[in-house]
């Protein structure tokens, strides 16, 4: 699979930077495929941890859980999810929870879009 095989009109291109992603994995498509599968399996649990931290107003846990999610998201070059996770991490660090629920919902939506795009990409890698 090369960057040319990932059709430009597929939804994955709009949400994640496929070219950069494939370039970053240096042609190791099998590794990229495994990592996408891991993200699809892990990200709901990571988001749940962030959600619980917001509900409990646990700032330290919010900082750590959002940091982990931000790190995972950053590998797929999706700016929107990355910025939302980073904002939640900073809120945890500064112990501010203002509008955390709203940000969390936006992150949820953004991650869903990202998962759809990654599913499409994974199919093209198989």
Residues that bind another protein (CB under 8 A): 24-26, 28, 30-31, 34-35, 38-39, 42, 46, 64, 67-68, 70-72, 74-75, 77
Residue nearer to another protein on the CB measure, 77 or 106: 77
HSE of 18, CA atoms in CB hemisphere, 13 A: 26
- Select 65 or 120, whichever has its Cβ closest to another protein: 65
Closest approach of another protein to the CB of residue 9, in Å: 26
CB of 110 closer than 8 Å to CB of 80: yes
Provide φ and ψ at 22, rounded to 5°.
Answer: -65, -35
Nearer Cβ to another protein, position 30 or 101?
30
Closest approach, Cβ 118 to another protein, in A, equals 13
Cβ neighbours around 10 below 10 Å, total: 15
- In whole angstroms, how close is the CB of 29 to another protein at the nearest point? 10
- Taking every pair of Cα atoms in the chain, the longest distance, rounded to a whole number of angstroms, is 46
- Where b means 16+ CB within 10 Å and e means fewer, 47-65 reads bebbbebbeeeebebbbbb
Q: How far is the CB of 53 from another protein (least distance, A)?
A: 12
Per the listing, tokens 């499409």 go with: 120
Nearer to another protein, 6 or 16 (CB): 16
């Amino acid at each position: 699979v090369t960057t040319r095989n990932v059709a430009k009109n597929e939804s994955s291109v709009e949400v994640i930077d496929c070219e950069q992603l494939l370039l970053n994995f240096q042609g190791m498509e099998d590794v990229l495929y495994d990592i996408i599968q891991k993200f699809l399996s892990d990200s709901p649990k990571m988001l749940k941890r962030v959600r619980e931290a917001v509900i409990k107003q646990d700032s330290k846990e919010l900082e750590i859980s959002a940091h982990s999610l931000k790190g995972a998201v950053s590998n797929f070059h999706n700016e929107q999810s990355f910025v939302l996770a980073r904002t939640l991490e900073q809120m945890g660090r500064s112990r501010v929870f203002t509008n955390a629920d709203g940000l969390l919902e936006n992150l949820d939506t953004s991650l869903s879009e990202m998962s759809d795009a990654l599913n499409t990409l994974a199919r093209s890698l198989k």
